[in-house]
Structure 1
Amino acid sequence: MKTDLIYEQQGNNVVIFNVFPFDLEQTLDCGQSFRWCRVSDNTWQGVAHGRIMKIAYNEGSLTLFNTNTDEFNKIWRGYFDLDRDYAQIIETIKSDRVLTKAVEYAGGIRVLRQDPWETLCSFIISQNNNIKRIKGIIQRLCMHFGEQIGEGFYTFPAPEHLAKLTAGDLSPIKCGFRAKYILDAAQKVAEGRVDIYNLHKLPITKARERLMAIYGVGPKVADCTLLFGCGFIEAFPQDVWIKRAMKVLFDGSLPDVAKPYAGIVQQYIFHYARITKLEI
């Protein structure tokens, strides 16, 4: 982990210096989060942890608009995983020929540390779905059941709120068969049967087991929640692309050098597989 993060308050903004590697598009539009949109070539805006954030990246400097250093340290520093030494991780995994090529396609990705409940609900919605439709369902969910915090911006609805609803109540968000999964998740989290905000304290196998007690949550949704919402970077979600990539590129087993960072490496492999169609 890095300990030399350099940042300062500049007016209403916080600027973080020497952030390498980092790519906003690769990080915010790669399918790990669904509430960000591009507002210009190097600027994105979205909602996370109940706050609206606009962010820009240019030549190693990351600018967070309309915030302060206290909020940066409390929320955004961890959200963007800025204390992790991604350059060192990349250098380590480059001892593998295939991973060296994979990093060339998406080496600017950082694994976000999102709200665990929002992550779980989002990846329940993601099942048998595409990114455009996922974003639409989540936007409608927030509009109908979240709180407005700005023009066109809403918080993600709390599990306690959704737990009181019926499948019929969710019909305006057009989530189809996933409604019953969302409600079961909300009820189990609201009632404390799944203590989602303390899963990070458990061994990964136990945490995965707790999540899979939710109706409709299988290994992939559980591992996405663990990786993107609970900080388990050893979690390794597998969709059809990853399963195929593992078979074609690695004979079914992740190289040992990558296993401590399996979740981060998964992102490199996923984008390499999608872009190249697994051409070697």
Structure 2
Amino acid sequence: MATAGFRSLPLSIAQLSLPAVLKCGQSFRWQCILLAAAPATPTKTQTPLADAPAQEWRLTLQDRVICLRQTPTTLLYRAIFPNESASPEENALREETTLTFIRDYFQLDVDLIELYSQWSASDEVFRKVQERFVGIRILRQDPWENLVSFICSQNNHISRITGMVQKLCTDFAPPLVTIPATDFAPQQTYHAFPPPKALADPSIEGVLRELGFGYRAKYIQKTAALLCERHEDPMAWLLSLRKMSIEEARAALLEFHGVGPKVADCILLMSLDKASVVPVDTHVYQIAVKHYGLRGTPGKASMTPQLYARLTEKFTAIWGEYAGWAHSVLFTSDLKSFSEYGLTPSASSSSTPSASDTVANGTPDSPTKRKGVVSTLDEETLLTPTRLRKRRKVV
């Protein structure tokens, strides 16, 4: 497979697996394009073990489209700009900023192999899934996009959230780059994620409802409006939450429409550098019951604040300061669309997770709840606390 125009970064799949990380419900804007080496009709997400890249992943930033490919030992990357003609100095700067984005976005200063080793040593459940689910790390996303995406996630599933997020881009942001057709993909036009100002006008709610956002339309518009009213630079303010404590940043997020504890914690973990935060919903509760011997008392139909806090405390005690990262591995291993992930050592493939893969189905952030799913948590826990060592650079 030709990789003309791509630069390479030595990086093993144990440190980063694109098919897992980009399809497990963290980010919803990455487009996966199957290359000639991939099966014509993929049905399951599998680990990318072929020597030649089988997929290309594309993400639109505000000024460029990032394109990634992967082999077992190398991450291949390039950026496509609206204006491809540039001076040598400008090209050098573009390459530097693209690599800086990749290192930051995938948090490559965190040694994932070391973390897996520590979690496996202290957690038998993690040890059983680690070999199949390698390379799953937490992304460091743009907080605004992350906030809106997880407002969309309420009572929803991954494929539908992806469709909603794509509609926000195509309907509320101008076209940025058109990539010509190739042997493996038709011509495609890419849009950046719209800024808060683009979604703040009261009329936006009606437009979003027409686009199929339902009750989430009101939440998105009001959140955008509140950000613009309160802050001269909404994006800078959201980034400033990274410097706050978990409690302060969570309280700030809970002021927005449609943001409850679970959505707030997803944002804390996935864009605000709070690695110990474990977002809890019924899916995570069921993981605790299924794998960690946690029992519920009949009669409780919803997740109370007390139950939420207990679950968070117990997972943090098990996995330590990177508890949110470990949780993401187990969460991914429990998704139906990943039921065969890592089982076939042939060429990789990828598909959109099925509608059964809910991100926030019946959580406290949703207007509807599933009856009888969550109950109070037994005090017993099977594992002892562990604390992880500090970060260590790997690339």
Shorter chain as denominator, the TM-score bin is: 0.7 to 0.9
What is the RMSD computed on CA atoms of the aligned residues? 2.2
1:217-241 CA deviation, whole Å, 9 max, x = no partner?
Answer: 0011111111111121112112221
Would the alpha carbon gap of residues 175 and 104 (structure 1) be closer, same or farther in structure 2, given more than 3 Å must change?
Answer: same
1:268 aligns with 2:329: yes
- Out of 6, 26, 29, the residue aligned to residue 13 of structure 1 is 6
How far, CA to CA, are the matches of 2:249 and 2:316 in structure 1? 24
Would the alpha carbon gap of residues 90 and 27 (structure 1) be closer, same or farther in structure 2, given more than 3 Å must change?
Answer: same
Structure with the higher fraction of residues in helix conformation: 1
How far, CA to CA, are the matches of 1:271 and 1:83 in structure 2? 22
Q: How far 1:188 sits from its partner (Å)?
A: 2.1
Q: What letter matches 1:101 in structure 2?
A: K
SS of the residue 1:112 aligns to: coil
Q: What fraction of aligned residue pairs are identical, expressed as a percent? A: 32
Q: How far 1:50 sits from its partner (Å)?
A: 4.9
How far, CA to CA, are the matches of 1:11 and 1:43 in structure 2? 13
Divergent runs of 4+, >6 A: none
How far, CA to CA, are the matches of 1:225 and 1:50 in structure 2? 23
Q: How far 1:116 sits from its partner (Å)?
A: 0.4
Computing the radius of gyration from Cα coordinates, the structure with the larger value is 2
Q: What letter matches 1:163 in structure 2?
A: A
1:202 aligns with 2:244: yes
How far, CA to CA, are the matches of 2:195 and 2:201 in structure 1? 11
- Greater Cα shift, 220-229 or 73-82: 73-82
Would the alpha carbon gap of residues 42 and 11 (structure 1) be closer, same or farther in structure 2, given more than 3 Å must change?
Answer: closer
Would the alpha carbon gap of residues 50 and 125 (structure 1) be closer, same or farther in structure 2, given more than 3 Å must change?
Answer: farther
Q: How far 1:106 sits from its partner (Å)?
A: 2.1
Q: With the length of structure 1 as denominator, give the TM-score of the two structures.
A: 0.88
1:30-66 CA deviation, whole Å, 9 max, x = no partner?
Answer: 1101111221223222224553111011021001123
Kept in 2, the 8 Å contact 1:233–1:262? The answer is yes
Alignment of 1:1-280 (within 5 A): 12-19=5-12, 20-40=14-34, 41-48=54-61, 50-66=63-79, 68-95=94-121, 96-151=123-178, 152-166=189-203, 167-192=205-230, 195-250=237-292, 251=294, 252=311, 253-254=314-315, 256-275=317-336
Q: How far 1:216 sits from its partner (Å)?
A: 1.3
1:163-202 CA deviation, whole Å, 9 max, x = no partner?
Answer: 1242113234310100111012112222335731211010
Q: How far 1:73 sits from its partner (Å)?
A: 4.2
Q: With the length of structure 2 as denominator, give the TM-score of the two structures.
A: 0.63
How far, CA to CA, are the matches of 2:28 and 2:130 in structure 1? 23
How far, CA to CA, are the matches of 2:131 and 2:55 in structure 1? 20
- Greater Cα shift, 166-175 or 79-88: 166-175
Would the alpha carbon gap of residues 66 and 257 (structure 1) be closer, same or farther in structure 2, given more than 3 Å must change?
Answer: same
Kept in 1, the 8 Å contact 2:142–2:271? The answer is yes
How far, CA to CA, are the matches of 1:124 and 1:255 in structure 2? 25
Would the alpha carbon gap of residues 197 and 237 (structure 1) be closer, same or farther in structure 2, given more than 3 Å must change?
Answer: same
Number of aligned residues: 268
Kept in 2, the 8 Å contact 1:141–1:173? The answer is no
2:349 maps to what in 1? none
Kept in 2, the 8 Å contact 1:163–1:186? The answer is yes
- Greater Cα shift, 46-55 or 30-39: 46-55
Give unmatched runs, 5+ long, in structure 1.
Answer: 1-9
- Greater Cα shift, 190-199 or 56-65: 190-199
Kept in 1, the 8 Å contact 2:276–2:316? The answer is no
How far, CA to CA, are the matches of 2:246 and 2:175 in structure 1? 35
How far, CA to CA, are the matches of 1:210 and 1:225 in structure 2? 11
1:3 maps to what in 2? none
Q: What letter matches 1:93 in structure 2?
A: W
SS of the residue 1:65 aligns to: strand
How far, CA to CA, are the matches of 1:122 and 1:50 in structure 2? 20
Kept in 1, the 8 Å contact 2:250–2:264? The answer is yes
Would the alpha carbon gap of residues 99 and 74 (structure 1) be closer, same or farther in structure 2, given more than 3 Å must change?
Answer: same
Kept in 1, the 8 Å contact 2:316–2:323? The answer is no
Q: How far 1:115 sits from its partner (Å)?
A: 0.6
SS of the residue 1:53 aligns to: strand
SS of the residue 2:262 aligns to: helix
